[in-house]
Structure 1
Amino acid sequence: MIYLFASDIHGSAYAMHKLLEVFQSSKASKLILLGDLLYHGPRNDLPYEYNPKETSRLQNSVKESLICVKGNCEADVDQMVLEFPVLSDSAIMYLEQLEGRMMYLHHGHKPLPPLSAGTIVVSGHTHIPVAEGKDGLIFINPGSVAIPKDGYPATYCILENRTFRILDFSGTVIKSLTI
């Protein structure tokens, strides 16, 4: 199975349209959103085509395929316009292709709980792509599809056949890690 990870959409209808194009063309079974779905927050400039209402409509259009965690820019009132749950700070997944390893999903703005060695931690928040092992854990950050930082382009992550590939919207691989 193929999984698509994205974070930090921040209400950009443009970025959400691009992400849905990738979701359709990749034939991913799930779109995993790692928080900061609708609003830009006080530290960020407005993203290109900032339109939280349209962004929520687009997200709702694929609600059956979504797994989401809450970011630091989400508010409880967001749940009123979203037709899928987004109020949990974290989620845990076990995927067959990852040989039973735990995958801990969170936005990244809160401290990690105690995790076993080999756990795959998937987060957003920094807007910077990461694919690396460190201190016995594996860290994946798809970057941001709307407000990338540190000179990176807008990026997302595909998991297929035990390989996490972080790509830009032109399909260029920015980082890759095989588990």
Structure 2
Amino acid sequence: MKIGVISDTHGSVEIWKKVYQSFFSDADFIIHAGDVLYHGPRNPILDDYNPASLVEALNECPIPLHIAKGNCDSEVDAMVLNMPLQAPYAYLVIEGKRILVTHGHLFSEKEKIALAKHLKVDLFITGHIHTNVLEKINETIFLNPGSPSMSKRADKKSTIAIIEADRISIKDIDTKDTLMELTF
């Protein structure tokens, strides 16, 4: 089983195409942790900002795509995408693993930990902060894949995550290097 995890594409169709071709084309599922199409009023417009083309690419994606609604995602976005924008979170069970996906802007860290414990979540995925998180707290792994289009990492590396078998990896989309890894 291979799951691609992405967040905060913010309308960047070329980034989506690059990530899909390099990392996700052989995935069984793709999880998007929100902020799919719109760049947001606080963010600069990207050189390849083309939400209409990104909608087309996502709608044509042959791999099941699960999306948690982000703070920049709107009802209009939901109307043009062929898959639901789930809010405030998506709850998936894949190969017996309980996965909760939310953009991350609605819950404090303390609330995330309490929700993970209450729902007996194995993996809690967020986006929103455009930086990576990969840590185990109690019985839950917390994952933020970062952003492939608007990184806020100190080194500005554009990142996604890959879940395979018993391993979660944060990948640099340009070099394909593994930046962080944790056993699942």
Q: Aligned equivalents of 1:129 and 1:160: distance in 2?
A: 18
| Mapped contact 1:79–1:87 kept (Cα < 8 A) | no
**1:61 alignment counterpart:** 60
The aligned runs of 1:50-129 (5 Å cut-off) are: 50-62=49-61, 65-96=64-95, 100-111=96-107, 112=112, 114-116=115-117, 119-129=122-132
| Mapped contact 1:7–1:144 kept (Cα < 8 A) | yes
Percent identity (aligned): 34
Q: Deviations over 1:62-106 (max 9, x none)?
A: 16521111000001111221111114221112232xxx4422111
Paired residue for 2:157, among 153, 159, 165?
Answer: 153
Which SS does the other structure have where 1:174 is aligned? Answer: strand
Structure 1 spans left out of the alignment, 5+ residues: none
TM-aligned CA distance change 1:167 to 1:126, over 3 Å: same
Q: Deviations over 1:37-61 (max 9, x none)?
A: 0011111111230111111111111
Aligned residues: 174
Mean Cα deviation higher: 71-80 or 81-90: 81-90
TM-aligned CA distance change 1:78 to 1:43, over 3 Å: same
| Mapped contact 1:8–1:146 kept (Cα < 8 A) | yes
- TM score, norm. by length of structure 2: 0.87
Which SS does the other structure have where 2:116 is aligned? Answer: coil
Q: Match of 1:35, as an amino acid?
A: G
Paired residue for 2:178, among 169, 173, 178?
Answer: 173
Query: Over aligned residues, Cα RMSD in angstroms?
Result: 1.7
Q: Aligned equivalents of 2:138 and 2:105: distance in 1?
A: 19
Which SS does the other structure have where 1:10 is aligned? Answer: coil
| Mapped contact 1:14–1:48 kept (Cα < 8 A) | no
- TM score, norm. by length of structure 1: 0.89
Q: Aligned equivalents of 1:57 and 1:118: distance in 2?
A: 32
Structure 2 spans left out of the alignment, 5+ residues: none
Q: Aligned equivalents of 2:43 and 2:181: distance in 1?
A: 27
Q: Deviations over 1:118-137 (max 9, x none)?
A: 63211111100111123553
Which SS does the other structure have where 1:115 is aligned? Answer: helix
Q: Match of 1:114, as an amino acid?
A: L
**2:24 alignment counterpart:** 23
Q: Aligned equivalents of 1:36 and 1:115: distance in 2?
A: 22
**1:10 alignment counterpart:** 10
Paired residue for 1:163, among 159, 163, 167?
Answer: 167
